[in-house]
Structures are given as structure tokens and as C-alpha cells.
């Protein structure tokens, strides 16, 4: 990518906004990624709107609706890092409860039931959290 209005590597000018470490994403330190750098805002809005009712969240449908299933493995990992708010390298149960807010700040929290269902679907090794590879598998199985 050349340097354009978004800067080198498609980065936005100004301080970094992403929860991805810039060097991890192959970006300069001044870059921050947001979900709309990876997914279409309209797709996110429709997907979040489809699951406003409590206990209606279906991760397979949601990942398809936001277009995540069609993304490259690298982009899926970038989404994972945005959702990993505490930068632990895992999405823990508490973070899973806020997964919709990772896509849209105004979205609702998942219910306890939805959170536990999502954790059970994604936690392949039984350690109580979802790592980057487990997240990639969860998306691929959607």
C-alpha cells in the first residue's frame, strides 16, 4: 500500500486507536485499528441490530452477517486482538460478555447464558478462555 489519506499501510493519521499492537499488525506504532477498518460499518450495524433481544445471540449467524467468515486469517486475528481488551492474548469469559460492544459501542451485553454458550463453542482446550487460534476456528466453523 502506498501513502495516501490514510497513511502508510492504510493507517489513519494521528495516535493509535486500536487494541491491536501496531507492530503485531504490521503497522507503525502510530496506527490503531478499529472494527470498521476491517469490516463494513453497515454490516456491523445490521448484525448487531439482528440480536438486540436477550438470549437471541447466535455467533455463527453474527460472524456471517458482519462478513468475518469471508475475511483472511490475518484479518480474523486482527479482530481477535481488538476484542481482547486486556491484551492477555485471550478473550476471557468476562470479555465475551461484551463481544457485541467490540463491534459497536452501543450494542448490548450478552446474557450469562449467551456468554457461556459462546465460551463453550470457542474454548476447544477447556482452559476457560478463547485464544487467537480458537477464535479463528470458531469463525471458520460459522
Same structural domain, 53 and 113: yes
Same structural domain, 45 and 89: yes
**Full residue range of the structural domain in which residue 1 is found:** 1-33
For the chain, the domain total comes to: 2
Q: What span, in angstroms and rounded, lies between the C-alpha atoms of 29 and 47? A: 31
pLDDT tens per residue, range 19-49: 444 444 444 443 568 999 999 999 999 999 9
φ/ψ of 94, rounded to 5, equals: -60, -45
Same structural domain, 93 and 27: no
Predicted local distance difference test score (pLDDT) of residue 2: 38
Q: What span, in angstroms and rounded, lies between the C-alpha atoms of 30 and 24? A: 13
Query: Are 104 and 45 spatial neighbours (Cβ–Cβ below 8 Å)?
Result: yes
Same structural domain, 62 and 103: yes
Q: Tell me the three state secondary structure of residue 121.
A: helix
> Which residues have a Cβ under 8 Å from the Cβ of 5 and sit 6 or more positions away?
none
Same structural domain, 114 and 52: yes
Predicted local distance difference test score (pLDDT) of residue 33: 82
Predicted local distance difference test score (pLDDT) of residue 95: 96
Q: Which regions of 2-140 does DSSP assign to beta strands (E)?
A: 90-92, 129-131
Same structural domain, 52 and 88: yes
Same structural domain, 83 and 25: no
Instruction: Tell me the average confidence (pLDDT) per consecutive run of 10 residues in the chain, 142 residues long.
Output: 40 43 44 87 98 97 97 97 96 97 96 98 97 98 91
Q: Give binding residues for Ca(2+) as ranges.
A: 84, 86, 88, 90, 95, 123, 125, 127, 129, 134
Amino acid at each position: 500500500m502506498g501513502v495516501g489519506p490514510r497513511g502508510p499501510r492504510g493507517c489513519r493519521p494521528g495516535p493509535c486507536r486500536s487494541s491491536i499492537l501496531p507492530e503485531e499488525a504490521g503497522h507503525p506504532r502510530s496506527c490503531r485499528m478499529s472494527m470498521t477498518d476491517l469490516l463494513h460499518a453497515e454490516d456491523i450495524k445490521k448484525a448487531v441490530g439482528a440480536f438486540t433481544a436477550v438470549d437471541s445471540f447466535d455467533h455463527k449467524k453474527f460472524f456471517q452477517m458482519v462478513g468475518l467468515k469471508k475475511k483472511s486469517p490475518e484479518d480474523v486475528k486482527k479482530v481477535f486482538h481488538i476484542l481482547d481488551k486486556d491484551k492477555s492474548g485471550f478473550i476471557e469469559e468476562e470479555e465475551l460478555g461484551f463481544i457485541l460492544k467490540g463491534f459497536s459501542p452501543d450494542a448490548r451485553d450478552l446474557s450469562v447464558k449467551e456468554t457461556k454458550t459462546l465460551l463453550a463453542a470457542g474454548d476447544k482446550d477447556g482452559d476457560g478462555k478463547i485464544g487467537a487460534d480458537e477464535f479463528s476456528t470458531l469463525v471458520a466453523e460459522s
